[in-house]
Amino acid sequence: MLGFLGSRKPFARLSEKEILALAISSEEDDARIYATYADRLRQDYPATAAMFDDMVAEEDGHRRALIADFQRRFGNTIPLIRREHVAGYYSRRPVWLVETLGVERIRQEAERMEDDARRFYEAAAARSSEPGTRRLLGDLALQEGGHLHRLAQAEATHLTTDAREEEDERARRQTILTWVQPGLAGLMDGSVSTLAPIFATAFATQDPRTTLLVGLAASVGAGISMGFTEAVHDDGVISGRGSPVKRGIASGVMTALGGLGHALPYLIPHFWTATAVAFVVVFFELWAIAWIQNRFMETPFLRSVTQVVLGGGLVLAAGILIGGG
């Protein structure tokens, strides 16, 4: 009989044999996930990779114990039953989704995985009335709780304070190289380079709708151009700047946003009101960029102000003079 999720079988209808087979396949999947994390992190984060190697060994040991118990009770043929076959069973996030989010996020995902398994087995044991199944599920819950303790032990063994600080600093630098630097460059380019065409159009036509259209075209076009340029000019292998796709997205999106910031005020139908709002937006944009550059790029604040605020002011003045003339 089918569960409420189509072909998924409710956990309450699983036999002891199926529960044990499900536990075996879950241990196999988790060991494979941890091994993937270890390979992904080994070059840049060796201490965390060693921690996951230990976790793989733990999962393999529990899998062998579960298989031995299954063979003792039910024979050698283990039915194929996996998480996705059981309604309400906890799921695992795709590995490729988690492993792109950074070393700290991967550590947190490992803790979540172990805690999910522990809580599930505890709930299952509480619902079971058959003594053998109840004992088996209770043992699995204890094992998963022990996993959390051993995870903390492995983290303490391999991730000393110095090692963790070093890996966290490396992750921070990688985030800056992959996301912050391209995004900041895009934001600066979009904010500054679109000032002249937008305000030249504004003062030449004094028409908010025309100015808005020019601003949208300039912002989107600049975003596409900057995104493609960032993505194709460096694959990140030699420079260590990370995925070109991520850098291209960061640069392109922030470039477009930088231009849209002072184009969208021209949604206001009254020209001088829209222009006043746009001036205020530009003021805060330029100072925000100067602060971000100082905060994340460690650029001296005076230098940031000179580059961004003074440079942007000159571009803005050029656009106003050209349009007003």
pLDDT digits (tens, 9 = 90+) for 157-197: 555 566 556 666 666 777 777 888 888 888 888 989 899 99
Is the predicted pLDDT of residue 276 greater than 80, yes or no? yes
The CA distances from residue 265 to 143, 268, 278, 297, 316, in Å, are 60, 6, 6, 30, 16
- The per-residue pLDDT for 130 is 67
- The per-residue pLDDT for 159 is 55
- The per-residue pLDDT for 51 is 83
From 44-48, 210-214, 319-323, the region with the lowest mean pLDDT? 44-48
- The per-residue pLDDT for 4 is 43
From 103-107, 208-212, 249-253, the region with the lowest mean pLDDT? 103-107
Q: Residues 129-140: what's their mean pLDDT?
A: 75
CA-closest candidate to residue 197, choices 181, 186, 213, 175: 213
The pLDDT confidence band at residue 267, using thresholds 50, 70 and 90, is: very high
pLDDT digits (tens, 9 = 90+) for 75-99: 999 999 888 888 767 778 777 666 5
CA-closest candidate to residue 259, choices 189, 182, 184: 189
- The per-residue pLDDT for 114 is 82
From 96-110, 218-232, 292-306, the region with the lowest mean pLDDT? 96-110
Q: Which of 60-64, 142-146, 157-161 has the highest mean pLDDT?
A: 60-64
| Domains and their CATH numbers in the chain | 9-159 (1.20.1260.10), 173-324 (no CATH)
Residue 175: how many other CB atoms lie within 10 Å? 14
- The per-residue pLDDT for 174 is 74
pLDDT digits (tens, 9 = 90+) for 206-232: 999 999 999 999 999 999 999 988 888
Alpha helices in the chain (DSSP H): 16-41, 46-74, 95-98, 103-127, 131-158, 161-175, 181-193, 195-205, 208-233, 244-260, 271-296, 301-304, 311-324
Q: Is 302 exposed, middle or buried (0-12, 13-18, 19+ CB in 10 A)?
A: exposed
The pLDDT confidence band at residue 233, using thresholds 50, 70 and 90, is: confident
Kindly state the percentage of the chain with pLDDT values over 90.
Answer: 26
The pLDDT confidence band at residue 2, using thresholds 50, 70 and 90, is: very low
- The per-residue pLDDT for 111 is 81
- The per-residue pLDDT for 154 is 56
Each residue of 204-234: b (16+ CB within 10 Å) or e?
beeebeebbebbbebbbebbeebbebbbeee
Q: Are 63 and 27 in contact, with CB atoms under 8 Å apart?
A: yes
Is the predicted pLDDT of residue 201 greater than 50, yes or no? yes
What average pLDDT is seen over the chain? 82
Q: Are 193 and 222 in contact, with CB atoms under 8 Å apart?
A: yes
- The per-residue pLDDT for 23 is 85
Bridge pairing between strands 9-10 and 86-87: parallel
